[in-house]
């Protein structure tokens, strides 16, 4: 029985790959025309997936066909150019294709000996990312699932380093009884920083919060005297407004007092590839650590977070699994830079994406999506709706009237299917957030989406 199904799987593996490739190709080709949110019918059909655990094997080709027939219609079309939710990027063709190949490789990226190619590509992409973002060339980094995990990795490293300065070994002795550390965040901090802090043993409530201005930037006139040991978390790109904290001033203040400065730059840090945004992105290179996502603006598939730390030894000291990693002359071992040990070879897709774009391609992607955001803001203002933020990069917040009207417009826009935007509450005001993050978005996508938004908002107002 076992042998039978094994033989069958092997003999059909070529066919099933061809089938999956054909179906995937069909999905990709249709993405530009698909509705963005799945239809009610597609969602209802998901119920058919709930069968008892099959007692007998199925033909792999049938498994893939079923997955496509029931799964594909219930996807959210994030790859089609008219998805503007949650700062989610699309997926570059090179990244998708590399993902297929990497799937066939099935490499475990924990150790160099498990996958020389995965380890080597990580060496390359970490250097490339630092170059692209204008971070110090000798930073170390870890490829993690997402920015939440990247924030955690960096904050755990900061914690380790500040406590080690006091002779406290947090790896051995933990956080109970450790010398206190002050953690400073801005009032518009991303929730993932607070989650990461709680995972690292800092209580969410035990942070010092610096007042923010109307764009969500930390107010530099509100900076105070720091405690002896402090971590200051700043933001490159607020998730709502896209605003940047005044990094230069905050860094000078924090550094003078011996604090560790960490940057949450999940998407906004990528604006550093374009000289156009230098007026908001300058100064972030001075920090001690950075968290970012390649699955947002750079349009690599999920999951693709990056933790980057100026002092590589500090990252290894906090993330290494044994003392062996400290042997001089040994090459970088991926798992001594991340919380995870076994994991997929994320560096493959990131490498393919960055190689296919090059600096100019990445810069063009950033500038083009920002220009689309400007077009949205202009179109909505001209139609008489209030844009709530200064559109500095790719994020637009729009209000269609009171909270109820705005929520209703958002609901109908999502239901309509032309495009998809999420709702948010920005400093007490209910708003729709448009985040232009996909390489695939064209001017026509913007026009079509804008027309749908304005039509629906006018209908709601008239009603
Ligand atoms: C999206 C985002 C995060 C969290 O990203 P995940 O990859 O979902 O963990 C953190 N900070 C900011 C500013 C973000 O925009």
Closest ligand 1 atom to 145 CA: 7
In a domain, 306, yes or no: yes
Which residue, judged by its Cα, is nearest atom 14 of ligand 1? 266
Does residue 401 sit within a domain? no
- Both 122 and 48 in a single domain? no
Is residue 441 included in any domain, yes or no? no
Our mutation pick for probing the ligand 1 site, out of 190, 194, 217, 241, counting the most ligand atoms within 8 A of Cβ, is 190
Say yes or no: 174 and 75 in one domain: no
pTM, whole model, 2 decimals?
A: 0.96
Nearest Cα neighbor of 299 from 30, 462, 83 is 83
319, 353, 387: which is the final residue of a domain?
A: 353
Q: Is residue 284 part of a domain?
A: yes
In terms of Cβ atoms closer than 10 Å to its own Cβ (0-12, 13-18, 19+), residue 57 is middle
Gap from CA of 290 to ligand 1 centroid (Å):
12
In DSSP terms, which residues pair with 398 in a beta bridge? 387, 432
In 3D, which of 282, 265, 297, 349 has the Cα closest to residue 134? 282
Both 152 and 205 in a single domain?
A: yes
Asked whether residue 403 is assigned to any structural domain, the reply reads no
**125 shares its domain with 68:** no
Residue owning tokens 């953690």:
183
Q: Is residue 256 in some structural domain?
A: yes
From the CA of 266, how far away is ligand 1's center (Å)?
Answer: 5
Q: Looking at the structure, do residues 71 and 103 belong to the same domain, yes or no?
A: no
Q: Give, for all 463 residues of the chain, the pLDDT tens digit.
A: 455 666 666 656 779 999 999 999 999 999 999 999 999 999 999 999 999 999 999 999 999 999 999 999 999 999 999 999 999 999 999 999 999 999 999 999 999 999 999 999 999 999 999 999 999 999 999 999 999 999 999 999 999 999 999 999 999 999 999 999 999 999 999 999 999 999 999 988 899 999 999 999 999 999 999 999 999 999 999 999 999 999 999 999 999 999 999 999 999 999 999 999 999 999 999 999 999 999 999 999 999 999 999 999 999 999 998 765 556 668 999 999 999 999 999 999 999 999 999 999 999 999 999 999 999 999 999 999 999 999 999 999 999 999 999 999 999 999 999 999 999 999 999 999 999 999 999 999 999 999 999 999 999 988 8
The preferred substitution site among 87, 89, 144, 192 for testing ligand 1, maximizing ligand atoms within 8 Å of CB, is 192
What CATH number is attached to the domain comprising 347?
3.40.640.10
Question: Based on the domain organization, do 152 and 216 belong to the same domain?
Answer: yes
| Residue 360 resides in a domain | no
Total structural domains within the chain: 2
Are 75 and 102 contained in the same domain?
Answer: no
Residues 333 and 268 in one domain: yes
Domain hosting residue 274, numbered range: 98-353
Q: Are residues 64 and 102 in the same domain?
A: no
- Give residue ranges with CB within 6 A of ligand 1: 87, 146-148, 190, 192, 237, 239, 264, 266-267, 293, 305
The answer to the question of residue 370 being in a domain is no
Q: Could you tell me if 84 and 436 are in contact, meaning their C-beta atoms sit under 8 angstroms apart? A: yes
Instruction: Give the C-alpha separation, 44 to 257, whole Å.
Output: 58
CA of 258 to the centre of ligand 1 (A): 27
Looking at the fold, whether 114 and 51 belong to one and the same domain comes out as no
Task: Give the distance (Å) from ligand 1 centre to CA of residue 223.
Answer: 25
Report the separation in Å between the CA atom of 285 and the middle of ligand 1, taken as the mean of its atom positions.
19
């Amino acid at each position: 029985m076992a042998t039978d199904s094994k033989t069958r799987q092997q003999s059909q593996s070529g066919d099933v790959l061809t089938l999956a490739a054909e179906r995937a190709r069909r999905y990709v080709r249709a993405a530009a025309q698909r509705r963005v949110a799945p239809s009610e019918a597609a969602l209802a059909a998901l119920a058919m997936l709930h069968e008892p655990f099959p007692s007998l094997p199925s033909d792999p080709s049938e498994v893939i066909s079923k997955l496509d027939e029931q799964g594909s219609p219930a996807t959210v079309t994030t790859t089609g150019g008219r998805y503007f939710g949650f700062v989610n990027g699309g997926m570059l063709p090179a990244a998708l294709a590399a993902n297929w190949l990497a799937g066939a490789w099935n490499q475990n990226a924990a150790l160099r000996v498990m996958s020389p190619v995965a380890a080597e590509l990580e060496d390359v992409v970490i250097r490339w990312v630092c170059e692209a973002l204008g971070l110090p060339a000798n930073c170390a980094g870890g490829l993690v699932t997402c920015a939440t995990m990247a924030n955690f990795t960096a904050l755990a490293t900061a914690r380790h380093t500040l406590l080690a300065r006091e002779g406290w070994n947090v790896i051995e002795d933990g956080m109970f009884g450790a010398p206190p550390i002050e953690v400073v965040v801005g009032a518009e901090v991303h929730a993932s920083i607070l989650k990461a802090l709680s995972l690292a043993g800092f209580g969410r409530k035990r942070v010092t919060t610096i007042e923010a201005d109307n764009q969500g930037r930390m107010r530099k006139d509100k900076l105070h005297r720091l405690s002896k040991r402090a971590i200051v978390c700043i933001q490159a790109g607020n998730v709502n407004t896209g605003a940047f904290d005044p990094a230069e001033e905050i860094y000078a203040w924090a550094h003078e007092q011996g604090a560790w400065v960490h940057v949450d730059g999940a998407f906004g840090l990528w604006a550093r590839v374009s000289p156009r945004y230098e007026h908001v992105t300058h100064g972030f290179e001075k920090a001690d650590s950075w968290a970012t996502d390649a699955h947002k603006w750079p349009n690599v598939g999920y999951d693709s977070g990056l933790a980057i730390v100026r002092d590589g030894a500090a990252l290894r000291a906090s993330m290494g699994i044994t003392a062996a990693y400290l042997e001089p002359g040994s090459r970088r071992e991926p798992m001594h830079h991340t919380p995870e040990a076994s994991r997929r070879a994320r560096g493959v897709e990131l490498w393919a994406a960055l190689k296919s774009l090059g600096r100019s391609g990445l810069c063009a992607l950033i500038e083009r999506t920002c220009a689309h955001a400007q077009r949205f803001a202009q179109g909505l203002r001209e139609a008489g709706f209030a844009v709530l933020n200064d559109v500095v990069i790719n994020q637009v917040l729009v209000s269609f009237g009171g909270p109820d009207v705005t929520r209703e417009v958002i609901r109908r826009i999502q239901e309509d299917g032309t495009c998809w935007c999420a709702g948010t509450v920005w400093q007490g005001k209910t708003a729709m957030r448009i985040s232009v993050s996909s390489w695939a978005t064209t001017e026509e996508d913007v026009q079509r989406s804008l027309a749908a938004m304005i039509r629906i908002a006018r209908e709601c107002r008239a009603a």
